[in-house]
Copies of this chain bind each other. A is one copy, B any other.
Amino acid sequence: MKAAPRKTADLSAQIAQAIRDAIVSGELIVDARLPSEAELSDQFQVSRPTVREALKRLAAQSLIRTQRGASGGAFVNRLSFEDAYSQQVTTSTLLLSMNAVSFDTACEARYALERACAPLSAQRRTADQLATMRAEIFRQSQPGLTDEAFCASDVTFHRALVDGAENPVLSYQLAGAVEAMQPLMNMITFTARSREEIITLHTRIADALEAQDAETVDSALIDLEHYTRQLAQDVVESKRKPA
């Protein structure tokens, strides 16, 4: 019978895992309809609230969707890149904020990954993506822009760079790395001078991408990484020695 269950987890967690396994293994395919809550209660020998808790767990991961009414029920959801993006961003953001990840570590990861996209972006970037980048550079040059808006624009710029690789898997993986940095970047106060420097580098990147010059993009990204880390360093030091 029950051969020593390692950890007596909640029933709802067990059931959720069983269904999750069925989905991952392909036993339940996309758009397949799960048995009704009443049927699942029977199958798993638990009450309907317990089944519902299990289903909500899966819904939270976008693995299923539910529909009311006759011929309604729970259906295996096609996990979209969009859904995965937002989960990835939420998870990455919390991961950084909760684990005291240093600015340098996060920054290193982000730029390493971004540089991985650069050669592909140089090859494939569309006119649309270039236009987005130019628009963001322009926005960044507007005086009176708050630091937060500047950071948000920075994220949009870099996402356009990443999307330029025209590889949805890369875009998905990078979404977390790029967006999760934003809260960390928001700690920095950008002077007019430092904004100017960043805009110069952004322009260099956009120009190089337009010219399909992968090497210049790479070197500009390296410079940008160093400059960003320097800025963060200055913030730390100015806090230690408040002028």
Q: Which residues of chain A have a CB within 8 Å of any CB of chain B? A: 12-13, 16, 20, 23-24, 26, 30, 49, 52-54, 56-61, 63, 78-81, 84, 87-88, 90-99, 101, 105-106, 108-110, 112-113, 115-117, 120, 165, 167-170, 172-173, 176-177
From residue A14, how far is it (CB to closest CB) to chain B in Å? 13
Q: Check A98–B79 contact: CB distance below 8 A.
A: yes
CB distance from A34 to the nearest CB of B (A): 16
- A79 in complex: contacting residue of B20, B94, B106, B120, CB < 8 Å: B94
Chain B residue numbers with a CB within 8 Å of A99 are 78-81, 168
Complex CA distance for A173 and B95, rounded to whole angstroms? 11
Chain B nearest CB: distance from A15 CB in Å?
Answer: 11
Given A167-B108, A170-B112, does the pair A78, B98 have CB atoms closer than 8 Å? Answer: yes
Chain B residues positioned under 8 Å from A101 (CB to CB): 168-169
Number of copies: 2
Cα distance A113–B113 when bound, in Å?
6
A176, B177: Cβ atoms closer than 8 Å: no
A26-B97, A30-B98 given; A109·B53 CB < 8 A: no
Query: A109–B170 contact, CB under 8 A?
Result: yes
What are the 6 A-B residue pairs with the smallest beta carbon separation, nearest first? Answer: A116-B116, A57-B60, A109-B169, A60-B60, A112-B116, A109-B170
Q: A56-B56, A112-B117 are in contact. List 14 more A-B contacts (CB 8 A).
A: A53-B53, A61-B87, A61-B90, A79-B95, A80-B99, A84-B91, A84-B92, A87-B87, A88-B88, A101-B168, A106-B169, A108-B120, A109-B167, A115-B116
